[in-house]
Amino acid sequence: MPIINLKVSGQENPALAKELVKVISDVTKVVLNKKPEVTVVIVSFVPDNLWFVNSVSLAELKAKSFHLNIKISDSTNLKSDKAKYIDAIHGALTFLLGSIHPVSYTAIQEMKADAYGYEGLTIEHKYINNQRKSDNIPAHIV
């Protein structure tokens, strides 16, 4: 399921990181219908003087920025879901971070189900096994 990498401009702030993770996890659950129990969020902070837009640091611009990259299984969400997600993430992070530079990105990467997974199993394998269980088909038949 989703793994989310969030880079935020500014000094490391564990309390802010926790708030960001809560909001991002909630938006991911509500908008993309992803299970919280398998959603991972990793937060990294980059000092404002090391984050540049058009060769000018965010420290000079007196702005904040973020880059959120989420990996989800291919074809599990509609284009409209993804557009709502990008909008909701931008709004939520603008609220939490304050003055956001317009060049703040959210990227949704769709991973093929046979090339992505956790617990040592691909998402495709998990999907097939869940289908068998819901159809009451024993695993040794198929």
> For the chain, which residues make up each domain, given as ranges?
3-111, 117-142
Alpha helices in the chain (DSSP H): 14-32, 58-61, 79-97, 123-134
- Which pLDDT score is estimated for 139? 59
Residue 51 DSSP label? -
The pairing of beta strand 66-73 with beta strand 117-118 = unpaired
Give pLDDT, residue 2.
95
Q: 41 with 4: CB under 8 angstroms?
A: yes
| Cα dist from 58 to 34, 68, 83, 105, whole Å | 33, 17, 26, 15
Look at residue 131 in the predicted model and tell me its pLDDT.
74
Predicted local confidence at residue 116, as pLDDT: 82
pTM for the model: 0.87
pLDDT recorded at residue 141: 59
pLDDT at 74: 93
Spans of the chain, pLDDT less than 50: none
How far apart are the C-alpha atoms of 96 and 106, rounded to whole Å?
16
What per-residue confidence (pLDDT) applies to 63?
Answer: 96
What pLDDT is recorded for position 102? 95
CATH number of 3-111: 3.30.429.10
Contact yes or no for 123/113 (Cβ under 8 A): yes
Rounded distance between C-alpha atoms, residue 82 and residue 107, angstroms: 10
Per the listing, tokens 């691909």 go with: 122
